[in-house]
Amino acid sequence: MYRVGYAFDSRKFESFIVDSFLECAKQRGIDLVQIHTDRSLIEQGPFDCVIHKLYDEDWKKQLAEFSALHPNTPIIDRPESIERLHNRISMLEVVTQLKISLGNDTVWIPKQAVIHESKALDDDANAIEELGLKFPLIAKPLMANGSDSSHKLCLVFDREGLKTLSVPVVLQEFVNHGGVIFKVYVAGQHVKCVKRKSLPDIAEEKLETLRGSVPFSQISNLAVEDGDDSVESNIERAEMPAGELVVELGRALREAMGLNLFNVDMIRDGSRYLVIDINYFPGYSKLPAFESFFTDFLWDVVHKESGIAAFPYSVFFLIYKLDGAYLHARDVAAAISKR
């Protein structure tokens, strides 16, 4: 049996380390072994591979010491490479460097800019015009480090709405996309794309009446639960991006970032696919047949079948905190339609 060590917080542990996955891996000769971070990692080895989603300094130190002793054991992924995804600017920069296209379809990102100073958000500042951005905007905390506050976003309709924001914040143009988001899950050389519910379009005439800002949080996680048939059928009808484009996006990003485990949130605006978010070690367990999808990846790793992506990259980040009450997806939709 191959030993794959895993280190997660309790939330990830509960959603990901489920019996069906442990069983599937076991049948392919892989034993998944829990790593206890309060004990020495070295003493809990040996491992044929380590997977993890923890970012504290103590854990990074443990990984570095383990790596020094076992340089041939793959650590999936290197903390230095993951850090790129903790900042919403560096996260998307790589997409613009890659310039991916297939036929008429291109992959790009929405127009966006980062604001570090709150005075730039004042009423009389022309920050938005100077940055070449147009309302409506989505404001996203610069840091995307998995904290609850990093998922607290805000739709901003005018200058007044900007005043409600805390810095540092990324202002990204809101792009109508039919209420459907494509989520491309990557696990090494394995790539799978699914459709999910997204923010609804905002009609041009509606825009004239919308004022201020509307906060929201983790919309694509919400099931289409409220019996809204039109949303459901929108999702069903939406055409999937070409398989080749999806695979190429996954491959190119994996190589460029030196990461093996991530997903890409992508929306469609005509022939442009716009990447709006990239997440490290996302919720694979929400994929149909995730057990075999992820086991295939682990099998590749322990059998050294596919080169493990690895790339030295490092960015520094600030801790960011945002307070306030946040609405759910359907409340946002309701708020938009009521105004």
Ligand X SMILES: O=P(O)(O)O[C@H]1[C@H](OP(=O)(O)O)[C@@H](OP(=O)(O)O)[C@@H](O)[C@@H](O)[C@@H]1OP(=O)(O)O
Within positions 283 to 302, which residues make up the interface with ligand X, using CB under 6 A? 283, 286
Choose the contact partner of 166 out of ligand X, ligand ATP, Mg ion, none; CB within 5 to 8 A by kind: none
CB 216 within 8 A of CB 327: yes
- Return the closest-CA partner of residue 333 out of 205, 237, 201: 201
Q: Which is nearer to ligand X, 80 or 158 (CB)?
A: 80
Q: Which is nearer to ligand X, 78 or 159 (CB)?
A: 78
**Is 232 exposed, middle or buried (CB count within 10 Å of its CB: 0-12, 13-18, 19+)?**
middle
Q: Which is nearer to ligand ATP, 80 or 173 (CB)?
A: 173
Q: Judge whether 126 is annotated as a binding position.
A: no
- Return the closest-CA partner of residue 202 out of 162, 260, 147, 155: 155
From 41, 95, 153, 259, residue interacting with ligand ATP (rule: CB under 6 A):
153
Within positions 213 to 232, which residues make up the interface with ligand ATP, using CB under 6 A? 218-220
CB count in 10 Å sphere of residue 136: 20
Q: Which is nearer to ligand X, 88 or 159 (CB)?
A: 88
**Min. distance of Cβ 9 from ligand ATP in angstroms?**
15
**Min. distance of Cβ 144 from ligand ATP in angstroms?**
5
Per-position x/- string for 251-280, each x denoting binding to ligand ATP as judged by CB under 6 A, each - no binding: --------------x-x--------xx-x-
279 makes contact with Mg ion (CB under 5 A): yes
What does the alpha-carbon distance between residue 121 and residue 211 come to, in Å, rounded to a whole number? 16
From 100, 127, 175, 222, residue interacting with ligand ATP (rule: CB under 6 A):
175
12 makes contact with ligand X (CB under 6 A): yes
198 makes contact with ligand ATP (CB under 6 A): yes
Count of residues near ligand ATP by CB under 6 A: 21
Q: List Cβ neighbours of 218 (8 Å cut-off, separation of 6 or more).
A: 151
197 makes contact with ligand X (CB under 6 A): no
- Tokens for 121, please give them: 């958000």
Q: Judge whether 177 is annotated as a binding position.
A: yes
Strand ranges of the sheet holding 49-52, from the earlier edge strand across to the other edge: 30-34, 2-7, 49-52, 75-76
Q: How many CA atoms lie within 13 A of 317 on its CB side?
A: 25
What does the alpha-carbon distance between residue 203 and residue 176 come to, in Å, rounded to a whole number? 9
Quick one: residue 195, left, alpha or beta (phi over 0 = left, psi -120 to 50 = alpha)? beta
From 1, 11, 69, 117, residue interacting with ligand X (rule: CB under 6 A):
11
From 87, 198, 263, 295, residue interacting with ligand X (rule: CB under 6 A):
263
DSSP string, 43-98: HH---SEEEE----HHHHHHHHHHHHH-TTSPEES-HHHHGGGGBTTHHHHHHHHH
What does the alpha-carbon distance between residue 48 and residue 31 come to, in Å, rounded to a whole number? 10
73 makes contact with ligand X (CB under 6 A): no
Amino acid at 138: I
Annotation: binding site for 1D-myo-inositol 1,3,4-trisphosphate: 12, 53, 151, 183, 279, 283
Q: Catalog residues that contact ligand ATP under the rule CB under 6 A.
A: 110, 138, 140, 144, 151, 153, 172, 174-175, 177, 181, 198-199, 218-220, 265, 267, 276-277, 279
Q: Catalog residues that contact ligand X under the rule CB under 6 A.
A: 11-12, 15, 53, 146, 183, 220-221, 263, 279, 281-283, 286
